[in-house]
Amino acid sequence: MTSPWEQPGPNPVLGRLAQAPPPEAPPSPSPLHDPARLIAIVGSVLAIVASPLPWLTRVGNPPPEVRTGWTGTADGFLLATVAIVLLVMAVSRVAEEARSRGLRLLPAGLGLLAAILGFGSQRTLENQVAIWTSEGATGVYEPWFYLNLLGAGLACVGGLWLGIRRGRRPAAPSDPTDAVQVTRRGVATALFGGLGVVLGAGVSATVVLTSGLNDVAMSMPLLFAVLLGALFGGWVGSRFAGLLFADPNALARPRDEGVRLEKVGTATVASRHARRDEPAIPGQDTDAEADA
């Protein structure tokens, strides 16, 4: 028992809690027991395998011609590139345990991009069939093209499922504050950012399409212009939403420095810093008093 003039000793319970190792993240389940990862992996593999194989064959008027996913606008090559990145994100444990929410949400964006490229490849082949028809021939779709569409669809579903699931949960069991919280500013950022992405991609695509480039040489410039325009438009939209819904008291609010570990004798104990705007509680020592 301590007298009123003596400092209380360190709390042994706090010392044991401070010395305890942080909880480890649970092991990632096998892809065979995780439907989201399994769908993303199967779709990515199908898209990669079918991309360099024949998609369309010209018949009815010589000379014969075969179109693969890597010829013309190279939609199959672009889809295979996206599928490779999605495959790595689905099997990598580093991506599964990443603290960055953007990295955890990346599979969802890759899934959407795979669906867009799959739809674009179908439109490209339809235009090629129309060109051959005007020349007195026609085109026959090969089974590998339908396998490619199946892979793009599965990659879209698996990527969206995996990215949304990873983004909604905390980065680690010991960090519950990292879970997604719906706020007015967050909703505005998502809406204005999405609008900026659409406008930026549309403006960039319009500039490239009206530049007079050849249809074959337009594929790569159009892709990079759309990506850069979407990124810039999304950044501008999110910044505008942040300024529009900014907290006026954010700069005046003092920062709570939280819990820190201190050495008291031979034990390590946890102590909480007092916020500068909070009055000291009678009978409770603050850091300034302890240093004095």
Q: Interhelix angle for 143-168 vs 35-50, to 10°?
A: 150
> In this predicted structure, what is the pLDDT of residue 49?
92
**pLDDT class for 198, splitting at 50, 70, 90?**
confident
Residues paired with residue 235 on neighbouring β-strands, in sequence order: none
pLDDT at 179 over 70: no
> In this predicted structure, what is the pLDDT of residue 43?
94
Most confident of 111-120, 172-181, 237-246: 111-120
End-to-end CA distance of the chain: 24
At residue 261, φ and ψ (nearest 5 deg) are -100, 135
> In this predicted structure, what is the pLDDT of residue 148?
93
Question: In this structure, what is the dihedral angle of CA atoms 163, 165, 171, 176, given to the nearest 10 degrees?
Answer: 150
- The answer to whether residues 77 and 51 touch, using CB atoms and an 8 Å cutoff, is yes
Kindly state the average pLDDT of the residues 190-204. 82
For the chain, the domains span 31-181, 196-251, 254-291
pLDDT tens per residue, range 36-74: 999 999 999 999 999 889 999 998 877 788 888 888 777
31-181: CATH, from 1.10.3720.10, 1.20.120.450, 1.20.140.150, 3.30.565.10: 1.20.140.150
**pLDDT class for 15, splitting at 50, 70, 90?**
low
pLDDT at 147 over 80: yes
pLDDT at 154 over 70: yes
Non-local CB neighbours of 251 within 8 Å, separated by 6+ positions: none
C-alpha span between 55 and 128 (Å, rounded): 11
Query: In b/e form, how buried is each residue of 21-59, taking b as 16+ CB within 10 angstroms?
Result: eeeeeeeeeebeebebbbbbbbbbbbbbebbebbbbebe
- The answer to whether residues 227 and 109 touch, using CB atoms and an 8 Å cutoff, is no
CA-wise closest residue to 98 among 38, 43, 162, 185:
162
Q: What percent of the chain has pLDDT over 90?
A: 17
pLDDT tens per residue, range 74-129: 788 888 888 998 998 898 887 777 777 778 888 998 999 899 889 888 888 988 88
> In this predicted structure, what is the pLDDT of residue 267?
44
> In this predicted structure, what is the pLDDT of residue 273?
44
SS3 276: coil
